[in-house]
Amino acid sequence: MKNAYKNLVRHCLNDNCLISVFDSEEYQVKRSSNYKAIIDAIESTDEIMLLIRDSEKNKLGKAWIIHDCDLDEKVWNFTDNDYMNKWFDQFFAS
């Protein structure tokens, strides 16, 4: 079984995106491209929201991660737009 949130983070970082990790109270990581820091922040709590920006800091989308799901379903919801749908399509195509 593939890990959806790790795949999403890799996908975004490969596109030179910046990721902020919000735990419903504060940002654990802000506008980062550091894979380990992002994953550590995601895994620090049960529910997380990712805010994804391009390299020019334009918002590309959001994703909600809930750890009570199967690995391929941990990305519970995400913004419905071209960028996020591109990730979704490649994740489930492979």
Whether the pLDDT of residue 74 is over 70: the answer is: yes
Q: Is 94 a domain residue?
A: no
Mean pLDDT of 25-44: 96
What is the DSSP secondary structure assignment for residue 88, as one 8-state letter? H
Left, alpha or beta for 79 (phi > 0: left; psi -120 to 50: alpha)?
beta
Q: Is 40 a domain residue?
A: yes
In the prediction, which pLDDT does 70 show?
A: 64
Q: Is 91 a domain residue?
A: no
Whether the pLDDT of residue 1 is over 70: the answer is: no
Q: Is 93 a domain residue?
A: no
In the prediction, which pLDDT does 73 show?
A: 65
Domain that holds residue 82: 4-86
In the prediction, which pLDDT does 92 show?
A: 83
In the prediction, which pLDDT does 86 show?
A: 95
Q: Is 92 a domain residue?
A: no
In the prediction, which pLDDT does 56 show?
A: 95
Question: Number of folded domains in the chain?
Answer: 1
Whether the pLDDT of residue 71 is over 70: the answer is: no
Whether the pLDDT of residue 63 is over 90: the answer is: yes
Q: Is 57 a domain residue?
A: yes
pLDDT confidence bin for 60, thresholds 50/70/90? very high
